[in-house]
Homo-oligomer: A and B are copies of this chain.
Amino acid sequence: MVDSSFLLACRNRPVERVPVWFMRQAGRALPEYRAVREKHGMFDIIRTPDLAAEVTMQPVRRLGVDAAILFSDIVVPLKAVGVDVELKAGIGPVIAQPFRTAADLDRLRPLEPDDVSYVTETVKILAAELPVPLIGFAGAPFTLASYLIEGGPSRTYGHTKALMYGEPDTWTELLSTLADITSAFLRVQIESGAAAVQLFDSWAGALSPDDYQRSVLPASSEVFDGVADLDVPTIHFGVNTGELLPLMADAGADVVGVDWRVPIDVARERLGSDVAVQGNLDPAVCLSPWNAVEAKVRDILTRNNKRPGHIFNLGHGVLPETDPDVLRRIVDLVHALG
């Protein structure tokens, strides 16, 4: 699988066909996923290796994508070290007691492989059975911190930023602790067979470049440093990150994900020539008639102009109301054109 187009593109190497996968490809857009979810809760699926492996493989079968991504959730490692977190339907993760002070740091401990033995087992099944590389993943320290601090959904990250600005020492220690948990969690996945890993810093785009550089980038770099010896490609993802792209590239990943707000040619200029790029179709486009989807896919490929190091993907996760046939057609079109 070392000659997989996905892994080659991650390394900025030439490929015969541009590889494609979709963030949240294993999820509510697929009827076979919804069928599993009717019988099992999210955490039940994640902690049952056969189910997690099945759900991870569903989009590979149906869509013909060039990579699978482990079915999991961003809060899994937090729950694994004892944080009381629930996934509420239609809301997302809710933390019973939000983190707001230095004393809350005591509520986090290092993650040990035994805390996530179900992940080890799931990854082993998948590494043996999948016809394409498996991407492991974890939330980045800032995004995990914002979940812990806000306690629930937020559009402003007011509590998170108040801690970041108001108690910089506590903030730094919290992010460093989360970086350790995250890199330990990624190591487990890589050592069990994940061929690449993606760090989701979904909410980093809420920050100015200065704040990102000072208060967030060091912890994300620690994560990439923490897995560097394992030598698998790393992907660094966020949304609303137009101004942050050069800094995100500095953090040390091989690939940086971009949403649809920045045209891919502009993004590549900001990222520099050493870094591969993943993206950048607006997931909402997939709800439109096919001729609109096709025009957007062609535009992205034209703008990238056959430069090596392009992994075709959405700029954010698949929307639940997406028709899976549209995703299948996108895969076929990218393969035909790329």
Contacts and interface: CB of A to CB of B under 8 A. Distances in A.
B284 A156 contact: yes
A207 B263 CA distance: 11
Contacts of A161: 282, 284-285, 287-288
A210 to B, nearest CB: 7
A242 interface: yes
Contact of A289 (B166, B299, B321): B166
Contacts of A262: 243
Contacts of A284: 156-158, 161-162
Given A208-B263, A261-B240, A165 B299 contact: no
A205 interface: yes
Interface residues of A, number: 32
B156 A319 contact: yes
Interface in A265-301: 266, 282-285, 287-289, 292, 299
B209 A263 contact: yes
Contacts of A207: 261
Pick from A283, A287, A299 the residue with the most CB of B within 10 Å. Answer: A287
Nearest to A293: B165
A161 B321 CA distance: 14
A158 B283 CA distance: 8
A166 B243 contact: no
Contacts of A118: none
Contacts of A299: 210
A295 to B, nearest CB: 8
22 contacts: A156-B284, A158-B284, A158-B287, A159-B287, A161-B285, A161-B288, A162-B284, A162-B287, A162-B288, A165-B288, A165-B289, A165-B292, A166-B288, A166-B289, A166-B292, A205-B261, A207-B261, A208-B261, A209-B261, A210-B263, A242-B242, A243-B263
Given A158-B321, A165-B288, A207-B261, 13 more contacts: A156-B319, A161-B287, A165-B285, A165-B289, A165-B292, A166-B288, A205-B240, A205-B261, A208-B263, A210-B299, A240-B240, A240-B261, A243-B262
